[in-house]
Amino acid sequence: MADPAVRATPIEDIEKYLNTARLTFNSGRSKPIAWRKQQLRALYRLIDENRDKIVDALQKDFRKPTTEATVLMSGLNHIVYCLENLPNWMKPEYPKKGLSEFGADLSINHEPFGVCLIIAPWNYPFELVFKPLTSAIAAGNVAVLKPSEITVNAANVITELIPMYLDNEAFFVVNGGVPETTALLERKFDHITYTGSTAVGKIIMSHAAKHLTPVILELGGKSPVVIDPKLSSADVARVCRRLVATKFFNAGQTCVAPDYVLCPPHLMEPLTTAIRENVLKYFGEDASQSPDFARIVNTNHTRRIGGLIDRQKVTPGSVVITGGKWDEATRYVEPTVIAGVRGDGPLMEQEIFGPALPIVQCAGIDEAIEFIRDGPHARPLALYVFTKDKATADQVHGSAVSGSVVINDATFQYAADSAPFGGIGASGMGTLHGKYGFMAYTHHKTVLAKPLTWFADHTDDFIGRFPPYSQKSLNALEKVAERRLPSEKNMVSTLLSVAAAGLSYLAKRWRS
């Protein structure tokens, strides 16, 4: 049976939406804090008053457990956080002035970019529309939203609710697939946010480059889990409670989900035993009957994940710890863990984005760092280190570059509204959430204002700013404008040097 399709927005409507949004922005309507707060409160009501409708859409698209669906409402907390802090974020900054700015007022004003395009993925179809939109509104922008065409029910709800709650001349929803997305990207926006795969991120960036449009790319990658060899079997059992829960949340369809595990040989047995026990505890003997295990979003992704699992199962050295079955008709992939996976195995070819977890044997921390840093999946979106030793944690995340790092847990960094979230390298660029999201959707404009006064004129004359120039005026200008390198010596070493010089002088005087 074919997957359901979303009703596409007519291409001619896209131009109308964009023109209306630009007229609204140019009118200045979106800049006052009152409008921003009004729209943020309206977005909060949109989510809060339609919880059942949102949960129902997620259950239809994913057969998502009710608990998981309601956890995804963290967008409400993000809105509240932005409302509480917006007045301070909007205030101009007054940086320290140098002598060349003497007598002038110097400020940094935070101004909105204008008309933003937000292209959302299917794995969290509401949250990854609402969170970027919250930041865009807080910064004073207007926006065109492009929900994923894969999650049809979620897209329909977003299309219905946005015009019911938000400014109808500032926010628009465009539905469709590649033709509609291409039509959007061919037009000039002032900012583009895309969440999705690295491959499509490159396409987005190439289109944005034609208009020199700034972008935020929240991409993916294979987020590794590093197991410290110094952990005990009891520690590993505790690790697996958290690892299994975060890996199989949303059936593994999370951009920051643990993608593979690097485990030392002597901990392989306790690790695999604890993983098997926790999968059984969380989802039962048959996870297809569990109300707490979601489905894959469509048949194409089911076949992709199932194909990777099947190829890995027949690869020499592979040991299926649990799972391994899948069914295209019901979009079900069993929670699967396979040990004995090589770095070039099928499950290591790409981001899995599903309920399959490969375990790669790794001798120690140095080898794990080298594998992450120098391998084909370097600079992941997230890095997870399970250890009791702070020095080990610091060594791993200090040596292997990643978008974020979590010690002794996984995925929860995304929920931190006060901290930036974003990738690096192939896992993305730019950051979102809280103040960092506000700043990402903001142009930071320097404003320098000098007075037209007698004093200002004579200050310019004193430093020799105007022709005809002389050596005297050049010397004066250099004293004002040129900055000297700070001394590399600290105060203590300077005092010691002075004391040594003084003692040397006294010694010479005494000898003479």
Catalytic option among 255, 334, 351, 362 = 255
Q: What is the value of pTM for the model shown?
A: 0.91
218 tagged catalytic? yes
Domains and CATH numbers, the chain: 11-219+433-444 (3.40.605.10), 224-417 (3.40.309.10), 451-481 (no CATH)
Distance CA 102, CA 104 (A): 6
Q: Are 441 and 112 contacting, i.e. CB atoms less than 8 angstroms apart?
A: yes
Distance CA 219, CA 422 (A): 8
- Residue 380's Cβ-side half-sphere holds a number of Cα atoms within 13 Å equal to 30
Which helix (H) or strand (E) covers residue 445, if one does?
A: strand 442-449
Q: Helix (H, G, I), strand (E, B), or coil: what is residue 194?
A: strand
Q: Does residue 468 have a cis peptide bond before it, meaning omega lies within 30 degrees of 0?
A: yes
Task: Tell me the H-state helices in 361-433.
Answer: 365-374, 390-399
pLDDT at 419: 96
Give the pair of three-digit tokens for residue 158: 């977003």
Q: Are 116 and 189 contacting, i.e. CB atoms less than 8 angstroms apart?
A: yes
Catalytic option among 68, 127, 218, 334 = 218
Task: Tell me the H-state helices in 284-354.
Answer: 299-313
420 φ, ψ (degrees, to nearest 5): -70, 150
Q: Are 172 and 129 contacting, i.e. CB atoms less than 8 angstroms apart?
A: no
Of the candidates 105, 118, 177, 108, which has an alpha carbon nearest to the alpha carbon of residue 144?
Answer: 118
Give the pair of three-digit tokens for residue 449: 């204002």
Distance CA 42, CA 163 (A): 11
Give me the amino acid identity at 56: D
Q: What is the pLDDT of residues 315-341, one digit of tens each?
A: 999 999 999 999 999 999 999 999 999
263 tagged catalytic? no
pLDDT at 505: 46
- Residues of the chain where predicted confidence (pLDDT) is lower than 50: 498, 501-502, 505-506
Question: Under the phi-then-psi rule, with left for phi > 0, alpha for psi from -120 to 50, and beta for the rest, what region is 331?
Answer: left
